[in-house]
């Protein structure tokens, strides 16, 4: 997004002021304040022939990949009207709305911060074909749905699949348990892990060069072990991750957790605690003497596992490693 330089009201050059707890562009001449707000969008789950309609994108980002039909809401239309319009533009299908499927946000982009409203819909007319910026439109049977490149699309698709398998007629994510397994990360997980890393507020200002360095360390660093929580279903999606950095000394070692995230719609379901449990078990097997967590980077960790955290520093908390004598822990 291009940075605004001049006031759109009076044309004077904008300055930076501290307003509402953060720096904002403002005009000293007329008092205009430039607020950068998330843009609203819609995503559409078109239920058809016992499957779901996906489109192959004709434009970046993720050009050539399969996603749900989606697009931004125009200023003069409702979210429901936008969903019906986008469905016809991108798939050729005239649809009617069945239900709200979910609401998510993507402060990490791409291309900018936004809020997306998903709807379940059914076709009532038209002919299935790719249109607008969609190269192709196709019905995918449940067992053949590919991995979707957008995080928010993966989340709503997982909820939709879970609802189908449970025989539900509407998605009630807040009332349903999702099965998952925790395992060490694999090379195929990197794209989804990178999307989760972008969810951590402290990482949103990273430059392109810094992001490339993050991916390189993720792929090649022998001193970092990553655990992921993966949904049980088809296609599986990564619901959360934890990166355990290991520092070895001559007489022992330390573990440090700096990066951890769980998909927004799957938070407060025990996934963070399960990832922490996996990291602690790994620390025990490695005979690490200390495990520290950066709570400034991961402020949500305190409510996840309050009975396991003990204060060691203003921004660091120490986790007790199972089987380790507390008297042996480094101060």
**Catalytic sites, residue numbers:** 136
| Other beta carbons within 10 Å of 132 | 15
Q: Peptide bond before 281: cis, by omega within 30 degrees of 0?
A: no
Is 266:239 a contact under the CB 8 Å cutoff? Answer: yes
User: Directed axis angle between helix 190-197 and helix 208-220, to 10°?
Assistant: 130
- Three-state DSSP class for 30? coil
Is 73:40 a contact under the CB 8 Å cutoff? Answer: yes
| Dist CA 174 CA 177 (whole Å) | 8
Q: Which secondary-structure segment (H or E) carries 82?
A: helix 79-91
Report residue 140 as tokens. 């995918």
Look up residue 145 and give its DSSP letter: P
Look up residue 62 and give its DSSP letter: S
Pairing of strands 39-48, 33-34: unpaired
């Amino acid at each position: 997004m291009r940075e605004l330089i001049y006031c759109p009201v009076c044309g004077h050059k904008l300055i930076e002021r501290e307003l509402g707890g953060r720096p904002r562009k403002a005009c000293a001449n007329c008092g205009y304040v430039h607020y950068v707000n998330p843009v609203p969008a819609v995503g559409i789950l078109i239920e058809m022939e016992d499957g779901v309609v996906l489109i192959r994108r004709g434009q970046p980002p993720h050009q050539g990949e399969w996603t749900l039909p989606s697009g931004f809401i125009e200023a003069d239309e409702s979210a429901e009207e936008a969903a019906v319009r986008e469905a016809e533009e991108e798939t050729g299908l005239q649809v009617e709305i069945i239900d709200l499927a979910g609401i998510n946000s993507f402060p990490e982009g791409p291309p900018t911060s936004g809020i997306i409203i998903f709807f379940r819909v059914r076709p009532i007319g038209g002919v299935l074909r790719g249109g607008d910026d969609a190269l192709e439109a196709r019905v995918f049977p449940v067992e053949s749905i590919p991995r979707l490149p957008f995080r928010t699309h993966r989340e709503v698709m997982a909820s939709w699949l879970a609802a189908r398998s449970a025989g539900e007629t509407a998605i009630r994510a807040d009332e349903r348990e999702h099965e998952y397994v925790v395992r060490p990360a694999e090379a195929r997980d990197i794209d989804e892990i990178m999307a989760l890393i972008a969810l951590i507020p402290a990482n949103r200002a990273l430059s392109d060069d810094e992001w490339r360095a993050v991916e390189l360390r993720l792929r090649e660093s022998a001193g970092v072990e990553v655990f992921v929580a993966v949904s049980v279903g088809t296609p599986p999606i990564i619901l959360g991750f934890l990166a355990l950095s290991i520092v070895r000394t001559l007489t022992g070692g330390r573990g440090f957790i700096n990066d951890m995230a769980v998909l927004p719609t799957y938070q407060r379901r025990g996934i963070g605690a399960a990832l922490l449990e996996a990291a602690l078990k790994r620390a025990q097997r490695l005979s690490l003497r200390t495990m520290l967590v950066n709570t400034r980077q991961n402020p949500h960790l305190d409510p996840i596992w309050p009975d396991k955290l003990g204060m060691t520093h203003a921004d660091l908390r120490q986790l007790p490693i199972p089987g380790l004598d507390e008297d042996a822990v480094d101060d």
